[in-house]
């Protein structure tokens, strides 16, 4: 049985002039719900933490998470740090919660109602929200910048780096200062609410948020998300619920999680809100898809189709994990490949189509950083040999079709003929014979289709061009 390690981490506490001619306002469209405009992020925005030894850690891609009142899945939108953006969303059928992650692990929030216009600017790296909504109260938006209760402590991610290996008294001093600060924040929140300076929906959200933050430093603080009617829209609540049900999958005397056991527990539970149950079921079915066998995934997916309330999740996950391609997945003989537009082929067909040419195969995945790092060099190499008898083939071992498709597009491979995701890596004897245990991995086949370099040079290497030219001359 495959399992995954439960990592115990520190708390890691997330779109966002004069005119000669009248421009069309997107809100004039009947299908448009709201518009979010993001200005260029200033140079004070921090997305890395420096280590004492001179190294650094990338901690957060600046991004927006949109959680919807009547939709299980949230939308994530990465922010372009150097260019302004405009995001026009379609009818969301209710309230939307926008959560903006910034500066390693900080968050700011805004509830978006139909016909709202949101503008996000940045000051010292911190997002500042503006809205045309007339019902906003003084402390609803940009809350932390208005508190005036002292300097906030560094977030837990940064503290983990700063205090790693430090004496216990230094760690205790940091923990106590964080407890004190967030306790003051919660008291300030109560006071503002009593004075009607913050609206109920923002009070409830921020109360849940800062209680969650304080709980990271003081486990005696009780979490009570149930008092917030919008809690299921709140990403940290979803993370909290995952933590609760992960415990049911923990193997005795180890820190491993059996996601099938967690799924079993969620499926048996009764929830006040069907959205959070559907969210947990979809989270665990995706976890099963990632770490268990195809057979296990298909068995649990049959249950998922019956258990889930929001049936739209079924089709989206079927595409994500190529569920309707069972025959290709179960094929033992061939190495079956699927393109981003769902065109099917095999590795054998690629060799047939390119007889008399050198073939350079790049095994990669969306999550493989060294693979992605080599892609610019690969593009350059492909361009240099464009009119030569050499074919570059990109084969992904991703299990998640959607993540591969996104990465494939980012690497400018969406329109490239020979870029595919492997459908049956688990069962294909042909794939097993290649012995691809780690990636990136590169293979060279000569003009006769014979594998001559099972561990070929990478596109970044100094010898790659020499190797190609030698093969071409034969």
CA distances, 148 to each of 143, 144, 181 (Å):
10, 8, 11
pLDDT at 205: 86
The Cβ of residue 92 has, within 10 Å, a number of other Cβ atoms equal to 19
pTM over 0.75, yes/no? no
pLDDT at 31: 42
Cβ neighbours of residue 457 under 8 Å, at least 6 residues apart? 442, 463, 464, 467
| pLDDT by residue, tens only, the chain of 474 residues | 444 333 333 333 222 233 333 333 333 334 445 677 776 665 555 554 444 444 444 445 567 778 877 677 777 777 766 677 776 665 556 778 888 877 666 788 888 887 788 888 888 778 888 888 889 999 999 988 888 888 888 777 677 777 777 888 888 888 899 999 999 999 999 999 999 999 998 998 888 888 888 888 888 887 766 555 567 777 778 888 898 899 999 887 777 899 999 999 999 998 887 888 999 999 999 999 988 988 999 999 999 999 999 888 998 899 899 988 989 998 999 999 999 999 999 999 999 999 999 999 999 999 998 999 999 999 999 999 998 999 999 999 999 999 999 899 999 998 899 999 999 999 999 999 999 999 999 999 999 999 999 999 999 999 999 999 999 988
CB 430 within 8 A of CB 335: yes
Q: Identify whether the C-beta of residue 198 lies closer than 8 Å to the C-beta of residue 138.
A: yes
User: Hey, what are 30's tokens?
Assistant: 């009947």
Identify the CA nearest to 353 among candidates 444, 417, 413.
417
DSSP H helices in 80-167: 156-162
Question: What is the per-residue pLDDT for 1?
Answer: 43
Tokens found for residue 363: 């095994």
Closest CA to 63 of 49, 71, 74: 74
Instruction: Tell how strand 117-123 and strand 106-112 pair up.
Output: unpaired
Report the candidate in 439, 432, 383, 445 with the shortest Cα–Cα distance to residue 412: 383
End-to-end CA gap in the chain: 48
- 313: three-class secondary structure by DSSP: helix
Nearest to 10 by CA among 213, 179, 192, 193: 213
CB 283 within 8 A of CB 241: no
The pLDDT of residue 33 is 56
Pairing of β 126-131 and β 117-123: antiparallel
In the block, which residue shows the tokens 């790659």? 464
Two structure tokens written together for 101 = 């992650």
Q: What are phi and psi of 377, to 5 degrees?
A: -65, -35
245 SS3 class:
helix
Tokens of 195: 């004075």
What's the pLDDT at 158? 73
Helix 294-307 and helix 274-291, axial crossing angle in degrees, nearest 10: 170
Classify residue 175 by burial, with Cβ atoms within 10 Å: 0-12, 13-18, 19+. middle
* Spatial separation of the C-alpha atoms in residues 159 and 104, rounded to whole Å: 11
C-alpha 338 chain-centroid distance:
23
Q: Pick from 293, 260, 456, 246: which is nearest to 363 by CA?
A: 456
Which pLDDT belongs to residue 7? 36
């Amino acid at each position: 049985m495959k399992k995954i390690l439960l990592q115990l981490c520190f708390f890691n506490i997330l779109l966002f002039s004069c005119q000669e001619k009248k421009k069309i306002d997107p809100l004039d469209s009947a299908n448009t719900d709201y518009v979010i405009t993001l200005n260029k992020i200033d140079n004070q925005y921090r997305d890395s933490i420096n280590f004492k030894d001179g190294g650094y850690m990338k901690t957060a891609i600046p991004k927006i998470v949109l959680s919807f009142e009547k939709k299980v899945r949230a939308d994530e939108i990465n922010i372009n740090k150097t260019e302004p953006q405009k995001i026009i969303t379609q009818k969301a059928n209710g309230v939307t919660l926008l959560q903006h992650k910034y500066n390693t692990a900080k968050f700011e929030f805004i509830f978006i109602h139909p016909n709202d216009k949101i503008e996000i600017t940045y000051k010292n790296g911190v997002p500042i929200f503006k809205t045309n909504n007339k019902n906003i109260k003084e402390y609803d938006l940009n809350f932390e910048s208005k508190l005036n209760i002292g300097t906030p402590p560094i977030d837990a991610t940064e503290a983990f780096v700063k205090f790693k290996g430090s004496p216990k008294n230094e760690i205790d001093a940091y923990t106590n200062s964080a407890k004190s600060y967030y306790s003051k924040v919660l008291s300030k929140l109560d006071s503002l609410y009593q004075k009607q300076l913050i609206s109920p929906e923002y009070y409830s959200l921020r109360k849940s948020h800062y209680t969650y933050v304080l709980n990271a430093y003081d486990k005696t603080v009780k979490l009570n998300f149930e008092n917030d009617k919008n809690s299921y829209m709140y990403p940290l609540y979803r993370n909290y619920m995952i933590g609760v049900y992960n415990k049911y999958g923990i193997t005795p005397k180890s820190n491993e999680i059996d996601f099938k056991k967690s799924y079993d527990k969620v499926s048996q539970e009764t929830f006040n809100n069907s959205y959070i149950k559907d969210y947990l079921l979809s989270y665990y079915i995706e976890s099963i898809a990632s770490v268990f066998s195809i057979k296990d995934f298909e068995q649990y997916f049959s249950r998922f189709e019956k258990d889930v309330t929001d049936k739209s999740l079924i089709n989206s996950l079927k595409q994500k994990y190529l569920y309707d391609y069972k025959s290709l997945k179960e094929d033992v003989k061939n190495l079956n490949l699927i393109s981003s537009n769902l065109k099917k082929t095999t590795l054998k067909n690629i060799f047939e189509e390119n007889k008399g040419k050198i073939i350079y195969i790049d095994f990669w995945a969306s999550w493989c950083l060294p693979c992605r790092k080599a892609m610019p060099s690969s593009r350059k190499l492909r361009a240099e040999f464009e009119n030569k008898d050499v074919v570059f083939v990109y084969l992904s071992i991703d299990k998640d079709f959607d993540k591969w498709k996104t990465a494939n597009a980012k690497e400018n491979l969406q329109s490239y003929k020979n870029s595919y995701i492997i459908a049956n890596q688990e069962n294909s004897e042909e794939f097993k014979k290649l012995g691809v245990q780690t990636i990136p991995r590169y293979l060279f086949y000569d003009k006769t289709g014979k594998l001559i370099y099972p561990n070929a040079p990478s596109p970044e290497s100094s010898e790659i061009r020499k190797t190609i030219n030698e093969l071409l001359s034969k």
